[in-house]
Homo-oligomer: A and B are copies of this chain.
Amino acid sequence: MVYITRRETFNAAHRLFRPEWSDEENLRVFGKCSNPSWHGHNYILYVTVKGPVNPETGFVVNLKTLSKIIREQVIEKIDHMNLNTQVDFMKGLIISSENIAIAIWDVLEPRFRPLGIELHCVKIVETENNSVEYYGN
């Protein structure tokens, strides 16, 4: 069993807020991250899958295949987008790094099983100081 990790990047706008709350309540909990005019990040996404090494190729999975799935299913839908308003699979969520990671997991996880590999971890780096990891449960 070997773990293989692909890094992809995307730039996006977001804000942290809860529509049920007043602006004051949002500001108290989320601080400047609740700015109604948005802010944004250079997000880094690490997708780790695991599986046995195919003796024919030396690969757990061809990185071109892995990258293609991540780009088509995730990056093309979120890069240079507003994560709060323009991404179908994040609709209705508070756009925290935690929820971004879980939403991406839910998109990617069923895509890897047909390839005989398993999604192991989705990691989101929001800034050089803050990151989250989700392992699926």
Partner-B contacts on A (CB < 8 A): 1-9, 11-14, 16, 18, 29-33, 35, 37-42, 53, 56-60, 62-64, 67, 79-82, 85-86, 93-99, 101-102, 127-135, 137
Q: Is the CB of B11 within 8 A of A57?
A: no
Q: Is the CB of A4 within 8 A of B98?
A: yes
Q: Is the CB of B58 within 8 A of A40?
A: no
Q: Which of B63, B127, B130, B137 meets A1, CB within 8 Å?
A: B137
Known: A35-B82, A82-B38. A6 touches B130 (CB 8 A): yes
CB distance from A11 to the nearest CB of B (A): 5
Q: Which of B11, B30, B98 meets A127, CB within 8 Å?
A: B11
Chain B residues closer than 8 Å to A30, beta-carbon distance: 57
Measured between alpha carbons, how far is A67 from B99 in the docked complex, in Å?
Answer: 20
Chain B residues closer than 8 Å to A16, beta-carbon distance: 58
